[in-house]
Structure 1
Amino acid sequence: MDPPLHLVHIKILAADLLSLTVQQTSPPSFLRRGRTVARAELVGIVVSRDRREKFLRFLIDDGTGCVPCILWLNHQYLNANTSSGPSDSDPTAEMALNMSEEVRLGTLLRVRGKIVMYRGVIQIAVRDVVLEKDPNVEVLHWLQCVCLAKECYDLPPTQGAT
């Protein structure tokens, strides 16, 4: 039986993520060699950052390409006119705000989230962001991506039970 890839964050390189096959369903689904994937994990450098009231949009470059990412923020928490502090806010919104502070130009990040389509472009709806302090993490991620693709992700689907 094939491992269900749509249930996990697959470690993937930008070039592979951006070349996934898109099935025009509602919502769109994404295929890697005929197998559905829904979540991804990337490691790379922040090369673009655009913060708005309700979201933070940024690009992650891993050396094979640039992946657009979006981190949704709670606009009520960000509103400077509210008197409530972080303790009165939604904890998920507070976590998103804390993660958004880690996203700075030139930083090395690990990003995990759901693969989505926006205006015809594949992007990541970010679930979590981790600042990586060890520069070797990027090379280790590349190696893991290659190994996992060979051993898990790119296996042909099994044809019935034997």
Structure 2
Amino acid sequence: MASLANTALFTGLDPLSWTYFRLPIASLYTGRKQDATAVGDDDLWSVSVAGRLVKAAEVTGMVVQVARRARHTQYLIDDGTGLLPVVCWLPDGVVDADADPDAPRVLGLGESVVARGRLSSFRGDLQMVADSVYASSDPHAEALSWLVATQLTVERYTKSFEPAQVLAPDLLAAAAELASRPPPALGREMDREQGAVDEGGEASGDEPPRDPQAVFADAVLGAIAATGTRSYAELRRLPELNAAAQVALAAVPSTVEAATRLKSLFVRTLARLVSDGLIFLQDEDADVYEAISVSRNLGPALLALVADARNHDVRPGDGSVSGVTASALVNLIAASPSFCNVARSRVFDAIAVLVDESYIFESAPRVYAAL
């Protein structure tokens, strides 16, 4: 039965699987498991300690780097054994981290901190998505954390969990039999209902096909984005869009005239893309639509606002700081007829792109100025 202890069937029964493992950062790298299928998360950084799966951890160390972004702050923590990026996302509803009292305080370089969170992988590298990060005033916190981590490893973590500790013998035997079964194959009737039977008649494990109208909307957006702008008349003449439209209409039988339904589908789809903040009506008279992108229009619009910062919500101070606050940029973009439907998160992402590409810089936290 011991071989079953770390399968997905028993992972949640181990009381330690719901705790933050107190480990040195180095062990989060050296203990990585290559196979994370036992827990089923593609972005999970799976660490094994004496056969136990570690999904969350607590580390204590010093902040050696701080990187602020529109929606999160990333700290690089050094505990003497290694470096760990810790990502702190802003709470829901918090837009301006500097002005909102609910926003967490940004920690500074050199502060001793304790971070707890879920281990994950971003672009193949380890990071922690923090549940909490707080400063520690104890000068011995880091040394104490090493001692506690060593003690827990010896006394708790290295003692493998056995399902027999929490399951009655009959339940344990039934669970072992269930774990030994191969995954059940989908029945042919279920496959047909989900559209997962290929031309040769063999069932496949593919997901059900997408809604044809959603596929058509993606095709319209792609056609506009390919050239930047498209008129309604141009879109109606594209063969690939008309083919996708016919598929979408065929999925919903109707007695309405085909030409009327086709026109209605184009009009509804364009209106939906506008309301979703993906395109905007560039020229109402010519019925021309433009795709919203950072490089083509949203970025230049933000850059113009930053360059004209003196006319906007400049951060108060002694006059030595110039620029426009992130919240002011979001509000100004929302007031624009072209970008009024663009999601606030997308505006923050565009600001981050402009900073990364050195078009603008942070003259103060969350205050941006043009180079």
TM-score range, shorter chain: 0.7 to 0.9
Provide the residue aligned with 1:108 in structure 2.
112
Note the 1:48-63 alignment, pairs <5 A.
Answer: 48-63=65-80
**Match of 1:19?**
30
Q: Quote how far apart the aligned CAs of 1:157 are.
A: 4.1
Aligned to 2:60: 43
Q: Is 1:149 aligned to residue 153 of structure 2?
A: yes
Query: Using a 3 Å threshold, how does the CA distance of structure 1 residues 4 and 36 change in structure 2: closer, same or farther?
Result: farther
Shift of the 75–49 alpha-carbon distance from structure 1 to 2, 3 Å rule, reads farther
Q: Counterpart of 1:98 in structure 2: which amino acid?
A: P
Determine what percentage of the aligned residue pairs are the same residue. 30
Secondary structure at 1:122 match in 2? strand
Q: Deviations over 1:44-92 (max 9, x none)?
A: 0001110000111111100000111101115863349xxxx747xxxxx
Larger radius of gyration: 2
Among 12, 17, 40, the residue aligned to 1:6? 17
The CA RMSD over aligned residues, in Å, is 2.6
Conservation of the 8 A alpha-carbon contact between 1:47 and 1:106: yes
Instruction: Say whether the 8 Å CA contact 2:28–2:47 is kept in structure 1.
Output: no
- Name the CA distance, whole Å, in 2 between partners of 1:48 and 1:153: 31
Answer yes or no: is the 8 Å Cα contact 1:54–1:74 preserved in 2.
Answer: no
Q: Distance in 1 between matches of 2:126 and 2:52?
A: 17
What is the CA–CA distance in structure 1 between the aligned matches of 2:156 and 2:163, rounded to whole Å? 16
Q: Is the CA contact 2:77–2:85 (under 8 Å) kept in the aligned structure 1?
A: yes
Distance 2:140 2:18 in 1: 27
Residue 73 of structure 1: which of 80, 90, 103 is its match?
90
Query: By percentage of residues, which structure has more strand?
Result: 1
1:98 counterpart residue number = 104
| Rounded Cα–Cα distance in structure 2 between residues aligned with 1:39 and 1:14 | 12
Consecutive unaligned residues in structure 2, runs of 5 or more = 6-12, 170-371
In the other structure, the counterpart of 1:131 is: 135
CA contact (8 A) 1:53 1:75 kept: no
User: What secondary structure does 2:147 align onto?
Assistant: helix
Query: Residues 113-140 of structure 1, C-alpha deviation per residue, up to 9 Å, x if partnerless?
Result: 1111111122110111121111111111
Letter matched to residue 80 of structure 2: G
Q: Which has the higher helix share?
A: 2
Contact 1:5-1:36 within 8 A present in 2 as well: no
Task: Using structure 2 for the length normalisation, give the TM-score.
Answer: 0.37
Separation of aligned partners in 1, 2:96 and 2:66: 20
**After the TM superposition, which of the residue ranges 21-30 and 140-149 deviates more from structure 2?**
21-30
Q: Secondary structure at the match of 1:64?
A: coil
State the alpha-carbon separation in 2 of the partners of residues 125 and 118 from structure 1.
Answer: 10
2:22, 2:57 within 8 Å by CA — same for their partners in 1?
yes
User: Does the C-alpha gap of structure 1 residues 73 and 61 become closer, same or farther in structure 2, counting only changes over 3 Å?
Assistant: same
Q: Which amino acid aligns with 2:52?
A: R
Offset from partner CA, 1:95-150 (integer Å, 9 cap, x none)? xx324x2x211100011111111111221101111211111111111100000000
For 1:74 and 1:35, the matched residues in 2 are separated by 31
**Does the Cα contact within 8 Å between 2:14 and 2:161 map onto a contact in 1?**
no
What TM-score comes out, normalization by structure 1 length? 0.79
SS of structure 1 residue aligned to 2:144: helix
